[in-house]
Chains A and B, each alone.
Chain A
Amino acid sequence: MTDFDFIVIGGGHNGLTAAAWLAKAGRRVLVLEKRATLGGVAATEELVPGFHFNIGAPDARLLSPAVLDGLDLKKHGLEFIESEIAAFAPQADGRGLTLWNGAEKNASEISRFSKDDQAWKEYSRQTSRFAGVLAKMACLRPPTIKNNPLGLMLAWGRLALQVRALGGRDMMQFMRVLPMSGYQYLNEHFETEALKGLLSVPGVTGSTQGPRASGTGFMLFYQQMGAARQVSGGVGQVSAALAKAAQARGAQVRTSIGVKRILSERGRGIGVELDSGEQISAKAVLSNADPRTTFMDLLGAPQLEPRIVRRLRGLKLRGSTATVHLALSGLPDFPAAGGDQARLTGDIVICPSLDYAEKAFDDAKHGRISAYPILIARIPSLLDPRLAPTGQHTMSIIFRYAPYKLAESNWDAERERLGDLAVETMAKYAPNLKSLILNRRVITPLDYEREYGLAEGSEMHGQMGLDQLLLQRPVPGFVGYRSPVDGLYLCGAGAHPGGGVTGLPGLNAAKQALKEIR
Chain B
Amino acid sequence: MPIPSPLHSRTAPLCITQEWRDWSGYLAAITYQPAHEVEYYAVRNAAGLLDVSPLYKYEVTGPDALRLVNRVMTRDIAKCRVGQVMYSPWCDEDGKVIDDGTIARLGEQHFRLTAADPNLRWFQDVGYGMDADVRDVSTQLAALALQGPNSLPILKILFKEAKLDALKYYYLLQSEFNGTPITITRTGYTGDRGYELWIAPDKAAPLWDRVMEAGKSYGIIPFGLAALDILRVEAGLLLIEVDYTSSQHAKIPAQKSSPYEIGLGWAADLSKDEFIGQRALQAEKKAGSPRSFVGLEVDWKDLDRLYGAVNLPPQVAGRASRIAVPLYANGKHVGQATSMVFSPILKKYVALATVESSYAQMGKEIEFEVTVEYVRVRAKAKVTKSLFYEPPQKKSVARG
Q: Does B108 contact A (CB under 8 A)?
A: no
DSSP majority for the A interface? Answer: helix
**Contacting residues, chain A, for B130 (C-beta < 8 A):** 301-302
Question: Does the CB pair B126–A296 fall under 8 Å?
Answer: no
- Contact between B128 and A306 (Cβ–Cβ < 8 Å)? yes
Chain B residues near A310 (CB-CB < 8 A) = 125
A309 touches B274 (CB 8 A): no
Q: Give which listed residue, B67, B93, B274, B279, contacts A306 with CB less than 8 A.
A: B93
Given contacts A267-B279, A302-B129, contact A307 B93 (CB under 8 A): yes
Write the nearest CB–CB distance from A124 to chain B, whole angstroms. 48
Do A306 and B129 contact each other (CB < 8 Å), given the known contacts A266-B274, A267-B279? no
List chain B residues, Cβ under 8 A from A302.
Answer: 67, 71, 127-130
Using Cβ atoms and an 8 Å threshold, which residues of chain B touch A300? 129
Provide the bound-state CA to CA distance between A301 and B276, in Å. 13
B159 at the interface (CB under 8 A from A): no
Asked if A305 contacts B93 (CB within 8 A), the reply is yes
A74: Cβ under 8 A from any B Cβ: no
Q: How many contacting A-B pairs (Cβ < 8 A)?
A: 28
Expressed in whole angstroms, the Cα–Cα distance for A305 and B92 within the complex equals 9
- Assembly CA distance A266 to B279 (angstroms): 9
In the bound complex, how far is the Cα of B276 from the Cα of A307, in angstroms? 11
1/0 contact string of A270-300 vs chain B (CB within 8 Å): 0000000000000000000000000010001
Q: Which residues of chain A are near B71, meaning CB under 8 Å? A: 302
Q: Are B129 and A296 in contact (CB under 8 A)?
A: yes
Q: Which residues of A contact B276 (CB under 8 A)?
A: 305-306
Q: How far is the CB of A219 from chain B (nearest CB, A)?
A: 31
- Nearest CB to that of A295 among chain B residues? B129
CA distance A302 to B276 in the complex (A): 10
Quick one: which of A299-336 are within 8 Å of B by CB? 300-302, 305-307, 309-310, 313
Q: A266-B274, A302-B130 are in contact. Are A309 and B67 (CB under 8 A)?
A: no
Query: Closest Cβ of chain A: how far from B74's Cβ, in Å?
Result: 15
CB-based contact A301/B93 at 8 Å: no
User: Contact between A313 and B128 (Cβ–Cβ < 8 Å)?
Assistant: yes
A300 to B126 Cα, complex, angstroms: 12
List the B residue with the shortest CB-CB distance to A312: B128
Partner of B125, one of A266, A267, A306: A306
Q: Whose C-beta in chain B lies nearest to the C-beta of A307?
A: B93
Which residues of chain B come closer than 8 Å to A309, judged between CB atoms? 125, 128-129
Please encode chain B, from 121 to 138, with 1 for each CB lying within 8 Å of some chain A CB and 0 for all others: 010011111100000000
B126 and chain A: residue at smallest CB distance: A306
**Nearest CB to that of B64 among chain A residues?**
A302
Chain B residue at smallest Cβ distance from A303:
B274
Q: What 0/1 readout, one digit per residue, does chain B (226-263) give for beta carbons within 8 Å of chain A?
A: 00000000000000000000000000000000000000
Which residues on the A side are within 8 Å of B279 (C-beta)? 266-267
Chain B CB count within 10 A is highest, among A266, A296, A300, A306, for A306
Give, as a whole number of angstroms, the nearest-CB distance from A489 to chain B. Answer: 20
A300 to B67, CA, bound (A): 14
List residues of chain A with CB within 8 A of the CB of B128: 301-302, 306, 309, 313
CA distance A313 to B127 in the complex (A): 13
Give me the interface of A with B, judged by CB distance under 8 Å: 266-267, 296, 300-302, 305-307, 309-310, 313
Q: Can you list 22 A-B pairs with a CB-CB distance of less than 8 A?
A: A266-B274, A266-B279, A267-B279, A296-B129, A300-B129, A301-B130, A302-B67, A302-B71, A302-B127, A302-B129, A302-B130, A305-B93, A306-B93, A306-B122, A306-B125, A306-B126, A306-B128, A306-B276, A307-B93, A309-B128, A309-B129, A313-B128
